[in-house]
Structure formats: C-alpha cells, structure tokens
Amino acid sequence: MTDLHIGIADIDKASWTITGYLLGYICMMPLVGKLSDVFGHKKLLVITLIVFALGSLLVGLSTNLIFLVASRIFQAIAAGSTIPLAISIANHSLPKNKHIIAYGIIAVCAEIGSIVGPLWGGIITNYLDWRWVFWLNIPLVILIIPIVFRNIKTNDKTNERIDYAGAFFTTLTLIFLTLTISRLQIMNSITLVCCIVTVLAIIGLISRQITAKNPIIPRFLFSKEII
C-alpha cells in the first residue's frame, strides 16, 4: 500500500487488481483457439509467453494503483491464452485416444497453479519484496521459450478469416457481464449501464453468430448432439 500510495480511503479500489486480471483473463479465452488456427500454435504461444513476461515486468515496476491494474490486465491477456492454447496444441499434436488424458493433465495443472500460486507468493513476499512475485516469472519464461521451439510442432495454418465483429461482441459480453456481476451489491447508475451494455452485447453476439460465415464460437457447440 505504501509503495503504491494507496490510502485507507482507497483500499476498496485495490480490488481492481483482481477484477482487472479476471477481465483480461476471460476475454481472451474464447478467441485464442481461432487465432492459433490462423496464425499458428507455436508462434502464438511464444508471443503469449513474451507478453506475459513483459506484463510481469510492468506489474513489478508499478508505482501507483492505476498502472498496477493496467499492467495486471495486460499480463492477464497472456495468462488467459495459455489454457486454450494448450488444449489446441494437444488436439493437433496427440492422437484422439489421448485427448481426454491431455485435457485432464491441463485441468489438473491449472488447478494446482491456483492453489500453489498464493502459497508461493506468500513465501516470496516473506523473504523478498512483493515485486519479485512477478519478476520471477521472467526467468521461467526465458527457460520455457526454447522448450517450446524444440518440442512443439508448427501446425498447418487455415485459410479461415477471423470474425473480428464476433470477437468484439464476445469480448464486450464477457467484460461487461463480469463487471455487472461484480457490482450487483452496488445498485447505481454505473451498474445499470453495465447491465444495459451486457444485454446489448449479448444481442449483438447472437446476431453475429447467426449471420457470420465463420463465427468466433463454432456453431456445432450448440448442436443437440453436443448438448
């Protein structure tokens, strides 16, 4: 709090470090699969790792709350891309009979990370400055990138075009739906605006899903066989 010049009166605003991270995390998850098919898994994963390292650096360099929240959102955009990328890479690299095992391993690793992360952060802050919680991500990324180049095959890129309008409505829906849920206990004009934008974004997303040639969310996910 002292490092970031956060007063007691502004302590409630510190929750934006969590909300902002959540917004950045969820808005990328439905988009990454399509992006990786178009631009390539390996290239997108390397870019994601670099962005995550840069975001970690910026978080550690933060001197005020606004810069910290912005850096956390930037970092979360990369973090939210990792699980969909891992699933996409597993789909293209492994035989179908091993997909379920791969999904299970990815899910377990994600859950372990959510449990071990806070404990690891607590240990680091007990002996070092809190900024090292984020800066220690950088050497890990430097170690991982050569492993990615050596072990992940380059997938065949598709000729499909990205539905940018659908991506926009998907992102808008997820962001304002999250904001609406986070503000349900504070019913004011801002909450009302978030609700209205959420409804309009959902309408726009549904309309785009119906009319787009290659919608951002595959239509087969809504088929009776899947449901």
Pair (146, 220) in one structural domain: no
Q: Which residues contact 224 (CB under 8 A, 6 or more apart)?
A: none
Pair (75, 151) in one structural domain: yes
Pair (53, 123) in one structural domain: yes
Q: Provide the whole-model pTM.
A: 0.79
Burial label for 121, CB within 10 Å (0-12, 13-18, 19+), is: middle
Q: Is the distance from CB of 90 to CB of 102 less than 8 angstroms?
A: yes
Say what the pLDDT of residue 200 is: 94
What Cα–Cα distance (Å) separates residue 121 from each residue in 38, 92, 165? 36, 34, 39
Pair (148, 68) in one structural domain: yes
Helix (H) or strand (E) holding 141: helix 137-151
Return the CATH number at 28: 1.20.1250.20
| Average pLDDT of the chain to the nearest whole number | 83
Task: Give residue-wise pLDDT tens across range 4-34.
Answer: 556 565 566 667 788 888 888 888 877 887 7
Pair (40, 137) in one structural domain: yes
> Number of C-alpha atoms within 13 angstroms, CB side, residue 133?
17
Boundary-marking domain end, from 160, 176, 206? 160
Lowest mean pLDDT among 5-9, 26-30, 50-54, 212-216: 5-9
pLDDT at 90 over 80: yes
Q: How many domains does the chain have?
A: 2
Task: Give residue-wise pLDDT tens across range 130-184.
Answer: 888 889 999 999 999 999 888 887 766 666 677 888 888 888 898 888 888 877 7
In order, the DSSP letters of 48-60 are HHHHHHHHHHHHH
In order, the DSSP letters of 23-56 are HHHHHHHHHHHHHHHHH-HHHHHHHHHHHHHHHH
Pair (172, 83) in one structural domain: no
Pair (135, 116) in one structural domain: yes
Pair (135, 194) in one structural domain: no
Say what the pLDDT of residue 53 is: 95
CA 77/CA 46 separation, integer angstroms: 14
Q: Which residues contact 70 (CB under 8 A, 6 or more apart)?
A: 20
Pair (54, 139) in one structural domain: yes
Boundary-marking domain end, from 103, 133, 160? 160
Domain of residue 149, residue span: 1-160
Tokens representing 138 are 């950088």
